[in-house]
Structure 1
Amino acid sequence: MNRVATYNQFFGSAAGIAMGQANMAKAQEQAATQKVAGDLQGFGIEAGRLLSAKTYAERLDRRAETLKGLEARAEVEATALESAQAAVQQARDGLANAAANQNGAGLKAALEQALSIIDTAANAQYNGEAIFGGEWGYGEPFVPASLDTLAAQPNTDANWVDTGRNRTVMIEDNRSIELSRNAEDLFRPFVDLLRSIRVWENANGPLTGRLTTAQLTYVQGLIPQMASVQSNLIDKSAEAGSTAKQIEMAVTTNDAKRDTLLATIGDQENVDLAEVAARLSAAQTQYQASAAIFGQLKDLNLLQYLR
């Protein structure tokens, strides 16, 4: 009589049941979470690469927030510079009208108003930080004063606060840009010219009413000086516009990098639901087959007859 040995069959079918249960559990979890695994351990040798990708993605997220703030800041700066250019144009128009009409009526008010606009522009802020405040960035970089007060001073040194160097900021990996110039660099030429006009008036008489020959000659000489100041401010405003464009391009580049990286991470983390469904079906089939074999072998086991 041949002996029927069932040990190996029992072991194999039991192992098949355990494997089927494990595969079903894994497939069911993946179907529920739509993720390959719930933690990095589940990614095996890919865990290190995935962790590095996620770390870099977080850095890109932080940079996106920084760039978003810089874009908003650039808009405030552009508005301030536009106001400043309008103030210079107003002063220039006032001088041109006075020269053309040989009458200074309204000139004093135009110059005072232009200075007031510069006061506001020079001390423009974004999120509590002075736009033209250099690397220190807090407080007002320009101390406002009337033309009479400025004319009583030997110069305007006391009206400009030391703001340190121009601030720089990183916008891409290994690439930084210089933000706004400081207020003194941008606006002092105009403020000094306005002050010099009031000093001249104090010594030679106010530029109001009908202009004398000397006054007219003086006003005519101011027009090219004001044009030079205006041209200088326009050039520096163009630099600010170029910086704003660089920030805009950095936003686009950063967003593209982040989207590509997130897609790559998603490819590693996310499962193909169709593939998971196929594996779940295969695991169920494996489990059912192993369980059926185990049941058949159990009926052949002689132990039940020895009880």
Structure 2
Amino acid sequence: MSRVSTTGNFQSALLNLMASQQQQADAANRVSTQKNATDLTGFGRSSETLTALKAASSRVQGFIDTGEVVGARLEAQDLALNQMIDGIGGAREAIGGVLASDSAGTLMLELEGQFASVTGGLNARHQGGYLFGGANTTQQPVSVATLSDLAAAPTVAGTFNNDTIKPVSRVAENTSIETGYLASDLGSTIFQIFKDIKAYNDNPATGPLTGKPTDAQKAFLTAQLSRLDAAKTATVDTASRNGSLQKRVEQIGLSHTGQLTSLDEMVSKRTDADLAKAVTDLQLSQIAVQASAQVVSQLRDVSLLNYLR
């Protein structure tokens, strides 16, 4: 025969009330957070899987962030390279105009402007640093500003301040790509052409390039056209490669976005609460709390001492 005591009844009723309150709190948390738990402990054996999925998501998100930064840099480089292409093309048009019109009156002035366009592209900045300076992003890659400065430099190589380290970006697992260029690589050839033209103009034996050009001057300028064509072609090729890199980085980014979405869905299946079930559980737990509280209240009036009296 089981012994029935007032203390035992109270303890049993209180335990039921506490259990119902805990169930109510758990259900309320699921409804408010829309998650099955608020920490890894609440997921039990699934916590290790969730940790691995979260780590993978963070790694993929890191690659996405890197891809966005690299994409912005490549876009800035595209603008700078096209500015250089325009400057080289403008120089060629100026020389072609001289040969067509048989007048070199404003040639050097026009070339000065096109040289400024080229140097402006080489000294382009992005996010506070110089694009084509290599690792030296705080100093202008090109140290000359005018054709006179260029002509005064002992060598073309001495007009560049960039180092030899090209930027490399890790955009995916086991995938690193060279995303930057050096001013000296981009500008040496075209600078040499500008330097030669300036030297020819300043040489009393051959210049100046003003008025009606002589046959010797025409021959010299004609030779510069082919050099400018080659320099422009090389710069266009670099811009095309830069565009290809942009496309590749964009495609890698899309792939990473798909991976991240898939990982988020896998995490969501393990962490997101069934709201319909959570609301139902909350309502049932509220009823259970009310019932347990009513039992405890009734037990205050139910005591074996009342029967002993």
Q: TM-score range by the shorter chain?
A: 0.7 to 0.9
Q: Which of 240, 243, 247 is matched with 1:241 structurally?
A: 243
Do 2:132 and 2:141's aligned partners in 1 also have CA atoms closer than 8 Å? yes
Q: Could you list the runs of 5+ residues in structure 1 that have no partner in the other structure?
A: none
Letter matched to residue 52 of structure 2: S
Code of the residue aligned with 1:264 in structure 2: it is: M
Per-residue deviation, residues 142-195 of structure 1 (Å, max 9, x unmatched)? 112422232233321211114222110111122111112101111111111110
Cα deviation, 1:5-42, whole Å, max 9, x if unaligned, reads 558x9587765554333322211222222221222211
- Structure 1 partner of 2:219: 217
Asked whether 1:106 is paired with 2:102, we answer no
Q: Residues of 2 paired with 1:154 and 1:293: CA distance?
A: 101
1:74 maps to a residue whose letter is: L
Is the deviation greater in 239-248 or in 262-271?
262-271
Post-superposition CA distance 1:229-274 (Å, at most 9, x none): 1111111111111111122223322322223323332332221110
Structure 2 residue 109 is the aligned partner of structure 1 residue 93: no
Query: For each residue in 1:194-222, what CA deviation from the matched residue of structure 2 results, as whole angstroms up to 9, or x when unmatched?
Result: 10111122331112111111111111121
| Counterpart Cα distance in 1 of 2:25 and 2:154 | 85
Whichever residue aligns with residue 229 of structure 1, its letter is: A
Amino acid at match of 1:73: R
Counterparts of 1:191-270 in structure 2, within 5 Å, are 191-203=191-203, 204-270=206-272
Report the Cα distance in structure 2 between the residues aligned to 1:55 and 1:135, rounded to whole angstroms: 31
Does structure 1 retain, via aligned residues, the 8 Å contact 2:70–2:179?
Answer: no
Structure-2 separation of matches of 1:153 and 1:135: 24
Residue of structure 1 in register with 2:278 after alignment: 276
Q: Residues 42-57 of structure 1: matches in 2 within 5 Å?
A: 42-57=42-57
CA distance in 1, matches of 2:114, 2:209: 16
Decide which moves more: 55-64 or 99-108: 55-64
- By how many angstroms is 1:287 displaced? 5.6
Q: Which residue matches 1:83?
A: 83
Worse-matched range after superposition: 55-64 or 229-238: 55-64
Aligned residue number for residue 180 of structure 2:
180
Q: TM-score, normalised by structure 2?
A: 0.86
The alpha-carbon distance between structure 1 residues 294 and 105, as it changes in their structure 2 partners (threshold 3 A), is same
Structure 1 residue 48 displacement after superposition: 2.3
CA contact (8 A) 1:6 1:301 kept: no
Q: Which moved more, 1:9-18 or 1:264-273?
A: 9-18
Return the alpha-carbon distance in structure 2 between the equivalents of residues 267 and 72 of structure 1: 35
**Structure-2 separation of matches of 1:133 and 1:247:** 22
Measured on the aligned residues, the alpha-carbon RMSD in Å equals: 2.8
Sequence identity percentage:
26
1:19-38 equivalent positions in 2, closer than 5 A: 19-38=19-38
Q: SS in structure 1 opposite 2:170?
A: strand
SS at match of 1:110: helix
Q: Relative to 1, partners in 2 of residues 1:291 and 1:94: Cα closer, same or farther, differing over 3 Å?
A: closer
Helix, strand or coil at the partner of 2:208: coil
- Within the alignment, does 1:126 sit opposite 2:148 as a pair? no
Instruction: Name the counterpart of 2:307.
Output: 305
Greater Cα offset, 82-91 or 198-207:
198-207
Query: Secondary structure, in 3 states, of the residue corresponding to 2:158?
Result: helix
Q: How many residues end up aligned between the 2 structures?
A: 304
Segment drifting more, 118-127 vs 135-144: 135-144
- Give yes or no for contact 1:142–1:160 (8 Å, CA) kept in 2: yes
Q: Partner letter of residue 195 of structure 1?
A: K
Residue range with higher mean Cα deviation, 49-58 or 82-91: 49-58
Moved more, 289-298 or 69-78: 289-298
Distance 1:152 1:71 in 2: 38
Structure 2's unaligned 5+ residue stretches are: none
